[in-house]
Structure 1
Amino acid sequence: MDLIIKNGVIITAKDTYKADIGIKNGKIAVIGKEIEGSGEEIIDAEGKYVLPGAIDAHTHLEMPFGGTISADSYEAGTRAAACGGTTTVFDFALQQKGHGIIQTARERDELCAPQACVDYAFHVVISDLRPEILDEFQAAVDYGLPSFKVYMVYKKEGLMADDGVLCQVLEKSKETGALISVHAENPDLIDIRTDKYLKEGKTSAWYHYMSRPEFVEAEADKRAIHWAKSLNAPLYIVHLANKEGMEEVKRAKDEGYEIYAETCPQYLYFTSEVYKREDGRNFVCSPPMKGKESLDALWKGIKTGDISTIATDHCPFQSSEKDWGKDDFTKIPNGCMGIENMYPYMLSEANKGRISFNKAVEVCSANPAKIFGCDNQKGSIVIGKDADIVIYDPKKEFTISKNNMHSDVDYTIWEGVKLKGYPVMTLSRGKLVFKDGEFVGKPGWGKFLKRKIKR
């Protein structure tokens, strides 16, 4: 053995038990009582929980958007992930006009590989659908890129897929074993409502929410689910934030369709009231935070299993960039931070009794590993899998502040939030990358994950 973790309580999506873990060559080699060895490094986890590392299946690092680039580089974003117990990050690679799927991922990998502090994968955003792109779906799946995204919004930015494109990619995904995720909002309603508010001189951050309230997202959720059901194709809805959409997901799942819904910590903690704050522009993201009814419906969906995963949609911008929209909400770069906060927040809610620790592991680790095809390596503490492990102290009190985060962003929407319990160590493939508040890993450690979705 290279390392033994002793005396901890192991928590997976299904089990809770006390045992030691032996790690060799970055893999979990043995799990048992009182593992003995000589010369190995020993971590004493007495009084602590030992969890699989989280998987953040939705991030936007170094992403060009809104006239700038998201504030966290691949190094900064994956460093922050490691410090929050996230050991695998999925980033979105935006297809440029004329570029192929594999080409898009390789170009992004050239940027990411020297920087990544934890393991990573890509979803390729399809924004230029041509016959040759549909023909490339199978090659991309075989290459280890089995998940793609389409935007039902951002028409002016050239990212939007209309219903025809959405149906084509859904049909091809069914044939090839890929999974399509959608950002579901209605762009025409957003444009009409935005123009109305601007003409009326209503330009504060509150009108970002008012321009795309619950029903604007819900309509697109329903439309996407309708097409997926009609074509009998699997569908993954990213950052679900509204009650009506949650109900539609539940209905489809109850009918037996392969529909997955992801939500984000910001939709589980904040409501649309944040947009009335003096710093409301810092909370601007799309879709925006919604009302209390939606927040409650999402927590219910987690408990019933109708929410499959938690991810962050981590896409932060510096406060000076958010200030571009101080007097015009349409100029605020859309996106919030969360990559370091996801697992600690969900585990804190488990520690407070809102959900079980097993459920927190399920939605933050086991489910994304299974859904996106890396559960042969990630998502659980099992012999043979990567030793992506978090040591969690349930007694540690922690207050989130910009000063104790590890991102490059100069503020956090989570400022002042108090957590019950916090990660004290993170291991990525058996290597210690975070310890007692400090990042101890190195850029370039992370590896690209090639995946295969099983059906």
Structure 2
Amino acid sequence: MDLVIKNGTIVTAAETYVADVAIKDGKIAMLGKNLDVTGEKVVDASGKLVLPGAIDVHTHLAMPFGGTVSADSYLAGTRAAACGGTTTVFDYAIQRKGQGIVETVEARRAMAEPEACVDIAFHCAITDLAGGSLLEEFEAAVSYGVPSFKCFMVYKKEGMMVDDGTLAQILLKSKETGVLTNVHAENPDLIDIRIAEYLSRGKTSPWYHYMSRPEFVEAEADHRAIHWAKALNAPLYIVHLANREGAEAVTKARDQGYEVYAETCPQYLHFTKEVYKREDGRNFVCSPPIKGEESREALWAALRRGDIQTVATDHCPFQSYEKDWGKDDFTKIPNGCAGIENMYPYMLSAANEGKITFNKAVEVCSANPAKIFGCTEKGTVSPGADADIVIYDPEKDFTISRDKMHSDCDHTIWEGVTLHGYPVQTYSRGKLVYDNGNFTGEPGWGKFVKRAGRK
């Protein structure tokens, strides 16, 4: 064997047990107590948890937005991911007018593959149906390995929004072709009206980013997206859900038997809207914005009961000087925060503190993302699966600070947050890419994950 991890406690979404893991050619070859095998390398994981690597299904690396480009390249973003126990990163390839789906993804893939330090997959964000002809490319995209498309229900002025008619067409075609439709749900008209009102009154601080798109602005769009999915009997995945009413709508739809999924992000589980009153409030500006305590508690409750199936980051950081563009006008703050290195450690720390189980943390950060998005060889520690493995020390306390992170962004919204327990090693297909605070991987190691379409 290439690697044997001995004496660790294996945690999957369904099971927890002590066993050895034997790895050969990037795959998990054997599991069992006291395996009688030799390995070129042997790691003693006594007292540690052995987990499947996390899958972050929502990032925006090297993304042009707001007059700049997000701070993390594919190299920096996937390096940070590896150091936080994330072994597969999904990026959004944004289709521009006139581009095809596969064409859009291939352009981003060409950028990503030489730099990726862990495996990488893509969703395509559709902005233009080209008179309907793009719908005929859905089957080709599924065959290519990209069976998930995103629809922005906002960003009208930026040319990224789809209207209800376009969303309906995409939902209808998706159920025919094995595609899952992702939506960013907010109401753009309400946002525009509220922004104009606050600017006219000289209300320009980051607090008014939240006030311009509060809970009901997101909730209305959640209800609308779910309404269309139910009416058309098509599967739906709501990204970065941040509000209580939206979570309740997801629960209701699922209780009625509809295939509706929801994702939330660590920033919505940990912080509240009060961050926008802080001196560094501009750094927390993301969309949807972080909401109130009632929503934060509702998201945790929905996560525990299984109505929120995944946790992802919406990783889209910008440098401090770029965030400062909006110090006197919140509309000029580039939207997005870093989180790709913090997601798995944060959720595992929550498990260590008893907020959820370790099995639930693995479920929402690894197993469910793999299942929902067709990563057939990932998301678990079992024979035949990719050897994407995290060794986690539940006794290691870790206080997050910028100088300990591996992103290219010059700040982190998680500064000063202390976690109980932390990853000590990350393996990507059996290769050690993170070791006790140090990145040990290499650009170009990550491979494109060709995903399976929905049955």
Shared fold per TM-score greater than 0.5: yes
Return the offset for 1:34.
1.0
The 5 A counterparts of 1:6-405 are 6-38=6-38, 40-130=40-130, 131-374=132-375, 376-405=376-405
**Contact 2:345-2:421 at 8 Å conserved across structures:** yes
Contact map agreement 1:377 1:385 (CA 8 A) in 2 = yes
What is the deviation of 1:157? 0.1
Contact persistence 1:370–1:453 (CA under 8 A): no
- Code of the residue aligned with 1:313 in structure 2: it is D
Name the aligned partner's letter for residue 366 of structure 2. S
State the one-letter code of the partner of 1:305.
Answer: G
Q: Which secondary structure state, in structure 2, belongs to the residue aligned with residue 444 of structure 1?
A: coil
CA displacement at 1:258 relative to structure 2: 0.2
Q: What letter is aligned with 2:362?
A: V
Question: Hey, what's the Cα distance between the residues in 2 that align with 1:398 and 1:260?
Answer: 32
Counterpart Cα distance in 1 of 2:416 and 2:39: 43
Q: Distance in 1 between matches of 2:222 and 2:435?
A: 41
Can you list the C-alpha shifts for 1:152-197, whole angstroms capped at 9, x where unaligned? 0000000000000000000000000000000000000000000000
Once residues 40 and 108 of structure 1 are traced to their aligned partners in structure 2, the CA distance between those partners, rounded to angstroms, is 36
The Cα shift of 1:142 comes to 1.2
Further displaced range: 36-45 or 271-280: 36-45
Q: Read off the aligned partner of 2:358 and give its amino acid letter.
A: F
Write the distance in 2 (CA, Å) between the matches of 1:34 and 1:353: 30
Q: How far 1:453 moved relative to its partner?
A: 3.1
How far did residue 143 of structure 1 move?
1.2
Please give the per-residue CA displacement for 1:371-398, whole angstroms capped at 9, x wherever unaligned: 0001x21000010010000000000000
Distance 2:15 2:305 in 1: 18
Cα deviation, residue 39, structure 1: 5.0
Matches within 5 A, 1:406-445: 406-445=406-445
Secondary structure of residue in 2 paired with 1:216: helix
1:194 alignment partner AA: I
Structure 1 length normalisation: TM-score?
A: 0.99
Q: Report the alpha carbon displacement of residue 454 of structure 1 after superposing the two structures with TM.
A: 3.5
Give CA deviations for 1:71-99 in whole Å, capped at 9, x if unaligned.
00000000000000000000000111111
Matched residues in 2 for 1:306 and 1:53: separation?
Answer: 22
Q: Give the alignment's Cα RMSD to 1 decimal.
A: 0.6
Alpha-carbon distance between aligned partners in 1 of 2:38 and 2:148, rounded to the nearest angstrom = 44
Structure 2 letter corresponding to 1:64? P
Amino acid at match of 1:234: P
- Using the alignment, how far apart are the partners of 1:17 and 1:454 within structure 2? 31
Q: Secondary structure at the match of 1:19?
A: strand
Shift of 1:132: 1.8
- In the aligned structure 2, how far is the partner of 1:34 from the partner of 1:132? 58
What is the CA deviation profile of residues 221-250 of structure 1, one whole-angstrom value per residue up to 9, with x for unaligned ones?
000000000000000000000000000000
For 1:321 and 1:454, how far apart are their aligned partners in 2?
Answer: 40
The percentage of aligned residue pairs carrying the same residue is 72
Amino acid at match of 1:146: P
Measure, in 2, the Cα distance between the counterparts of 1:325 and 1:189.
21
Which ranges in structure 1 are unaligned for 5 or more consecutive residues? none
Q: TM-score, normalised by structure 2?
A: 0.99
Whole-Å Cα distance in 1 between the matches of residues 406 and 143 of structure 2?
36
The one-letter code of the counterpart of 2:334 is P
Moved more, 29-38 or 45-54: 29-38
- How far apart, in 1, do the equivalents of 2:331 and 2:129 lie? 28
Indicate conservation of the 8 Å contact 1:237/1:262, yes or no.
Answer: yes
Could you give the per-residue CA deviations for residues 261-315 of structure 1, whole angstroms, max 9, x where no partner exists? 0000000000000000011000000000000000000000011000000000000
Matched position secondary structure for 2:116: coil
Distance 2:323 2:148 in 1: 31
The answer (yes or no) to whether the contact 2:320–2:411 under 8 Å persists in 1 is yes
Runs (4+) of structure 1 exceeding 4 A deviation are none
Q: Partner letter of residue 100 of structure 1? A: G
Deviation string for 1:10-51 (max 9, x for gaps)? Answer: 000000000000000000000011123335200110100000
Give the C-alpha shift of residue 428 in structure 1: 0.1
Count of residue correspondences: 454
Letter in 1 for 2:363: E
> Tell me, what secondary structure is at the counterpart of 1:157?
coil
Residue pair 2:179, 2:454 contacting (<8 A) in 1 also = no
